[in-house]
Structure 1
């Protein structure tokens, strides 16, 4: 499995987790899951505008995922009823950022091999 596929799978998991979290796993205390979803889902959908360039989309969602990681950690700490979805959110973010690092490392290694071959 390529790093891009892993990253896109983690992104999809984050998108699918939001409605599950707010409608089923741990609905908000105010009883209005649509408000929570209206705040959390749109930023995750912004990288859809960059899907023509998958690496750029992955970079965008990686930046957005840093906020979701913080949200997941805070929610896991502060709201015991939301601990499971919050930790799942944080785990998806870690996988996503790890996939971006893995992809970058592979690209640098390939560039170094090409550079070394051209010097010979």
Structure 2
């Protein structure tokens, strides 16, 4: 379970960095950071502090991040590379949050 927690924290950190780079130069950059980059950072802190609900909420938020990235990838070819990176990171976050349950259910220790 320790490894999946570290992977989850790393993916959340990468997602926050992705959003910071993605919206760099935007007129509403500060607002974009508050809306998109701050939640993964706060969840990463919660995961590293071993808060029980942080991983759950990371998985829930990842569904929203995934949906947003799919919408952008479909609608804006210029921003599509950022969106595809967001899709990959969102799926990774969902898998990282689910991994301990998969391991427990199927008898693996990671």
Q: 1:72 aligns with which of 53, 69, 79?
A: 69
Q: 1:98 aligns with which of 63, 80, 95?
A: 95
> CA-to-partner distance for each residue in 1:59-91, whole Å, 9 max, x for gaps?
221111111000110011111111001110110
Q: Which has the higher helix share?
A: 1
**Could you tell me whether the CA contact under 8 Å between 1:7 and 1:96 is conserved in 2?**
yes
| Aligned CA-pair RMSD | 2.4
Give the CA deviation at 1:52.
2.6
**Could you tell me whether the CA contact under 8 Å between 1:62 and 1:97 is conserved in 2?**
yes
Give the CA deviation at 1:100.
1.8
1:82 corresponding residue in structure 2: 79
Aligned-partner Cα distance in 1 for 2:106–2:62: 25
The structure with more radius of gyration: 1
The reply on whether 1:42 has 2:43 as its aligned counterpart is: no
Question: Structure 1 residues 7, 55: closer, same or farther in 2, change over 3 A?
Answer: farther
Gapped runs of 5+ residues in structure 1? 111-120
Aligned-partner Cα distance in 2 for 1:49–1:2: 16
